[in-house]
Amino acid sequence: MAAQKKVTFGVVVGNRGFFPDHLAKTGREEIIKVLEAAGANVVVLSPEESKHGAVETYAESQKCAELFKKHADEIDGIIITLPNFGEERGIVDAIRLSGLRVPVLVQATPDRSGEMTIAVRRDSFCGKMSACNNLMQYKIPYSLTTLHTESLTSPEFTADLAWFTSVCRIVTGLKNLRIGAIGARPAAFNTVRYSERLYESSGISIEPIDLSEIFGRIAKMNDNDDAAQAKLAAIKSYVSTGKVPEAALLKMAKLGAVIDTWMKQTNCAVTAVQCWTSFEEYFGVVPCTIMSMMSNDLIPSACEVDIPGVLGMYMMQLASGTPSALLDWNNNYGSDPDKCVCFHCSNLPKHFFAEPPTMDYQLIIAGTVGIQNTFGTCVGRVKAGVMSYARYSTDDNHGIIRGYTGAGSFTDDPMETFGGAGVAQIPNLQKLLRFICREGFEHHVAANFSDVSKAVHEAATRYMGWDSYLHGEEV
């Protein structure tokens, strides 16, 4: 898996002159130290550019804005730190003049009850309210720390910084996102219909290609093509292929090589692929292993041209830095109301399995098109661990993008089945299932082995402007 890119934060240090401004000096030094220790890059005024490197006057706001503009292509988010009350006008002017449209976190450093003299009193508790009021007036979306005031070196701020970093990664990753739609939506899958125009309104573009073009490019490819042979070697090192004919493996390798080339040509970061049953009938394999390999390499791929599905996969991947999968909310698990079986045929990334998966044939489709045409699935049991889930679809009736997210876990409960499957435990699952059915959401859901649902929800609702339901949380 590829390493995540370093996040860069623009920092606005608040200051108000009739409060102790030495606190602005030490506050600036402290936040730089904390952010750099967390692995982030920092863009902030220097003490030579403004008093203590903070922002108070309009002239200092202009300097901060110019600095942020200079680094606009690098900055993923802005952190407002209030070591004292802070000048709210200076803070919001700096952000507005910069023209940046990135997530903003407001942090205020707490006073100490035993140190409330005029020489050391911060009043940032109060100043945070003024800063937020002005952000609201300027229509600048912003996020809040868990506690109203938090020390920069506290465990609470450490957790909030990790959460906000994930929010920034999601928002940055969705900016000008291009999703590859490989093939047409299968006729039997009305549930994966979506509106390109609504996604475009959020800056997300869909790049379609017909399966005939994919198959045509494969037909022109020589068996000894370097890209095909390299992909064939990658397949064999990725998954056990002992049960699969060599001819089927070569087809998969050519498919993978063609998709790789097309994605580079079109700058697509993720894909959704038609499968049922064109691939099996007219090409003779399932695309599952190729999709599994892409997802495992942080290039998520969803089946049945499920654009909302791969979008949810990508959001959680951006937040966690680990692979996501697309699953079905598929079966009840006995009589336990908070457990269910999540299943797919499967194209799950290797990261999801308790043991290395085995390549086999697709048991369901094989009954229709024959075993010889359905090799390529990744079969195994989903491992136990904390997980998040998400789904963000287009609602044409109301002209909006809406969805849900939440956290739960995969368990090691016993289960005998085929494909890729796991038992999921979701607190108050029946409420979530009623919500999915009542609101008309699809049976597909993206999953990720992490607890990033709060970051996904914050990015979706506060910065993307989507309707989002966070299951199990009052926010």
Whole-number Å distance between alpha carbons of 394 and 453:
19
Directed axis angle between helix 155-174 and helix 307-320, to 10°? 140
Look at residue 293 and tell me whether its pLDDT is greater than 50: yes
Q: Does residue 443 have a pLDDT over 70?
A: yes
Supply the Cα-derived Rg of the chain in whole angstroms: 25
**C-alpha–C-alpha distance, residues 245 and 258, integer Å:** 21
DSSP string across 326-347: EEEEEEE-TT-TTEEEEEESS-
Asked whether the predicted pLDDT for residue 17 surpasses 80, the reply is: no
Q: What is the mean pLDDT of residues 382-392?
A: 98
Residue 112 is predicted with a pLDDT of: 85
Q: For residue 210, give Cα distances in angstroms to 184, 221, 259.
A: 7, 18, 12
Residues 414, 155: Cα–Cα separation, whole Å: 37
Domains of the chain: 8-174 (3.40.50.10940), 178-470 (3.40.275.10)
In 3D space, the residue among 310, 267, 318, 256 whose CA is nearest the CA of residue 2 turns out to be 318
What string of DSSP letters covers 292-318?
A: HHHHHTT--EEETT-HHHHHHHHHHHH
pLDDT category, 1, cuts 50, 70, 90? low
Taking 90 as the threshold, does the pLDDT of residue 114 lie above it?
A: no
CA 289 from chain center: how many Å? Answer: 22
Identity of the residue numbered 457: H
Number of Cβ within a 10 Å radius of residue 44: 23
Q: Mean pLDDT over residues 429-437, rounded?
A: 98
User: pLDDT-derived band of residue 116, with 50, 70 and 90 as boundaries?
Assistant: low
Sheet containing strand 301-303, edge to edge, reads: 205-209, 178-182, 270-273, 301-303
Rounded CA-CA distance 76/96 in Å is 16
Across 83-103, average pLDDT: 97
Tokens of 327: 């699953």
Closest CA to 455 of 401, 393, 390: 390
Helix (H, G, I), strand (E, B) or coil at 459: helix
DSSP at 284: S
| Cis amide bond preceding 277, omega within 30 | yes
As a whole number, mean pLDDT of residues 198-219 equals: 98
Whether the CB-CB separation of 387 and 372 falls below 8 Å is answered with no
| Cβ–Cβ < 8 Å for 203, 174 | yes
Residue 432 DSSP one-character state? H
Is the predicted pLDDT of residue 474 greater than 60, yes or no?
Answer: no
Least confident of 103-107, 117-121, 199-203, 384-388: 117-121
Question: pLDDT at residue 411 above 50?
Answer: yes
pLDDT in tens, 319-377: 999 999 999 999 999 999 999 999 999 999 999 999 999 999 999 999 899 999 999 99
Residue 475 confidence (pLDDT): 42
Is 465 or 22 the better-scoring residue by pLDDT? 465
Phi, psi of 428 (to 5 degrees): 55, 45
Side chain identity at residue 103, one-letter code: P
> Residue 117 — pLDDT band, cuts 50, 70, 90?
low
Of 16-30, 259-273, 404-418, 424-438, minimum mean pLDDT range: 16-30
Closest CA to 126 of 110, 146, 104, 142: 110
What DSSP string runs through 111-124?
A: PBTTB-STTT---H
| Mean model confidence pLDDT for the chain | 96
Q: Is pLDDT above 80 for 65?
A: yes
354: left (phi over 0), alpha (psi -120 to 50) or beta: alpha
Residue of 37, 20, 141, 29 lying closest to 11 (CA atoms): 29
